[in-house]
Structure 1
Amino acid sequence: MTPDSPTPDSPAWITGRNRSIGAPAGDWRSHLSAAQGPETIELWWPFPTPVAPPAEIQALARTLRQQQLRLTAINLWGGDMTAGDRGILHRADLPRTHLESILRIHEATGADKFNLLLGRGGSDVLPSQVDRVRSIGEFFGDRVGGVVLIEPLSAMSDYPIRTIDRAWDLIGAAGTGGLLMDLHHLCANGEIGAELTAKDLRRGLPTHVQVADHPGRGEPGSGTAPLQHWVRQLRQAGYAGEVMGEWLPRPVT
């Protein structure tokens, strides 16, 4: 699917969907149950443990092929997300066995963008987090030619990356990585206004873009954020990657 192709249930300027949001954590089958191919998708870590059994990776890849789904990005394991974890790098390395699982997922699906959560260790990036980001980025760069994504998040004062500048600072310090620009989080943080300015893009274009409206994290049009206008500005600035919808599904009535 090209960056200008619509997904079946999204506006034409959306090129794919996150299929994990709103689904049970770690259950990839439920993440794909509502998918309608052909479609480009991304997933949060789709297994219940950091190490995915090879048979389950092959089952995931087989289901993607059967449903004509192209997996382009996946979250690295982020700890106990349901308990509030957003990564573990403030306290520990990612297990090498987890990185090997990601390598097998890449080999089976072609996914080459890996969203890396840092951990809720405080408002400042720790030197140990920089070292761990560097090590993980080098692993994927050397083994698969993939890129680690660094994403500013909202609503967590103890998460160290909440602004575009902080993300670029970490990428520069680690010498690896690309910016994941989630327009919902940036809007919630007051990082971007009605227009994307030269300041927002002065340090480079994002590697990956996600959208959801604000407030509410719903589908485009459910809130007040000028999502399509921001995406148009990114395209005009030269961004040629995916624009992935990452909004909460409508409540069942």
Structure 2
Amino acid sequence: MPRFAANLSMMFNEVPFLDRFAAARAAGFEAVEFLFPYEFAAKDIAARLMDNGLQQVLFNAPPGDWANGERGTASLPGRQQEFRDGILKALDYAGELGCPRIHVMAGMVPPGVSQGTLTCLYAINLAWATEKAIAQGVKCVIEPINQRDMPGYALTGVANGIAAIEAVGPDRLGLQFDLYHTQITEGDLVPRMKAALPYIAHMQVADTPGRNEPGTGEVNWDFVFREIDAAGYRGWIGCEYRPKGETNAGLGWFQPWRAK
């Protein structure tokens, strides 16, 4: 049966961040993910996880200057030391939170930088990050992102994600298969999921076109979730969507899958 993790950066925004853990557990979730934990002490987040019997399954490594549009530093020239410092910080949090996955964002393509330079630097940085991560029992993941929501992002398309994973090694690096981004960029969700399954370490979901909860857009989610289950995927599916209204009011889609 598919296992869903609440994304606390997007869901349960009716309450402050640290209170969202209890809200997610009350709604029937057994696991959570979020974008970034760094505004809070790791021990405070760990306490909320323990208090609510939740598992932390994913968060992002530091993205650079998020407020000013940066979306990762893994492929950016001249930022290698910042990238490495960020990975070490993320691994400190992962150790405290018992989190097995860290998403490493590629970054926005800088003006005047060749694709060859970006590709080489991306591979070098990912190789370094995964070496540090596996020593701690953590697997890094990368996520192809659609160019409509994030124009200029350096990694788009499932095939490009798989190529990067092959370069570094599938035992070290996994694919974060986001069905929302894939539907926008390529469509054909179920066949693409099945073809990518050997590389997938985490999934995320939101409906298209509005990035709201399943059932608010164009995708037949009952079919997709059944096919994910039938394909043998046993990892977590992060609910990285923006609720159309109040979070609990939009959880009707989740009821057949919620923890009993």
| TM-score above 0.5, yes or no | yes
- Quote the residue 2:122 is aligned against: 129
2:103 counterpart letter in structure 1: N
1:59 counterpart letter in structure 2: D
Report the Cα offset of residue 198 of structure 1.
6.5
- Taking the aligned partners of 1:204 and 1:39, their CA distance within structure 2 comes to 25
1:41 counterpart letter in structure 2: V
CA deviation map 1:33-82 (0-9, x unaligned): 7433562001111224xxx7xxx111111121112221111111112223
- Quote the residue 2:46 is aligned against: 61
Report the Cα offset of residue 120 of structure 1.
0.4
Are positions 1:43 and 2:43 aligned together? no
- Taking the aligned partners of 2:229 and 2:131, their CA distance within structure 1 comes to 29
- CA change 1:117–1:19 in 2 (3 A) is same
Asked if structure 1 preserves the Cα contact closer than 8 Å seen for 2:109 and 2:152, the reply is yes
* Stretch deviating more after TM superposition (68-77 or 112-121): 68-77
Report the Cα offset of residue 32 of structure 1.
3.9
Report the Cα offset of residue 173 of structure 1.
1.5
Unpaired segments ≥5 residues, structure 1: 5-12
2:44 counterpart letter in structure 1: A
- CA change 1:205–1:168 in 2 (3 A) is closer
User: What is the SS of the residue equivalent to 2:127?
Assistant: helix
- Richer in helix (by share): 2
Are positions 1:147 and 2:142 aligned together? no
* Stretch deviating more after TM superposition (100-109 or 70-79): 100-109
Asked if structure 1 preserves the Cα contact closer than 8 Å seen for 2:62 and 2:87, the reply is no
- Quote the residue 2:236 is aligned against: 242
Matching of residues 148-167 of structure 1 within 5 Å: 148-154=140-146, 155=148, 156-167=150-161
Q: 1:219 aligns with which of 201, 210, 213?
A: 213
TM-score if structure 1 supplies the norm length? 0.80
- Taking the aligned partners of 1:167 and 1:31, their CA distance within structure 2 comes to 31
- CA change 1:202–1:79 in 2 (3 A) is closer
- Quote the residue 1:183 is aligned against: 179
Equivalenced residue count is 231
TM-score if structure 2 supplies the norm length? 0.78
Identity %: 24
Asked if structure 2 preserves the Cα contact closer than 8 Å seen for 1:183 and 1:227, the reply is no
- Quote the residue 1:71 is aligned against: 56
Asked if structure 2 preserves the Cα contact closer than 8 Å seen for 1:28 and 1:60, the reply is no
Return structure 1 stretches of 4+ with deviation > 6 angstroms.
Answer: none
User: What is the SS of the residue equivalent to 1:15?
Assistant: strand
1:178 counterpart letter in structure 2: G
- Taking the aligned partners of 1:226 and 1:161, their CA distance within structure 2 comes to 26
User: What is the SS of the residue equivalent to 1:82?
Assistant: helix
Asked if structure 2 preserves the Cα contact closer than 8 Å seen for 1:214 and 1:225, the reply is yes
User: What is the SS of the residue equivalent to 1:126?
Assistant: helix
- CA change 1:147–1:111 in 2 (3 A) is same
- CA change 1:120–1:65 in 2 (3 A) is same
Report the Cα offset of residue 206 of structure 1.
1.2
Report the Cα offset of residue 22 of structure 1.
6.2
- Taking the aligned partners of 1:239 and 1:199, their CA distance within structure 2 comes to 10
Structure with bigger RCO (C-alpha 8 Å, 6+ apart): 2
Are positions 1:116 and 2:123 aligned together? no
- Quote the residue 1:9 is aligned against: none
- Quote the residue 2:257 is aligned against: none
Asked if structure 2 preserves the Cα contact closer than 8 Å seen for 1:28 and 1:47, the reply is no
- Quote the residue 1:232 is aligned against: 226
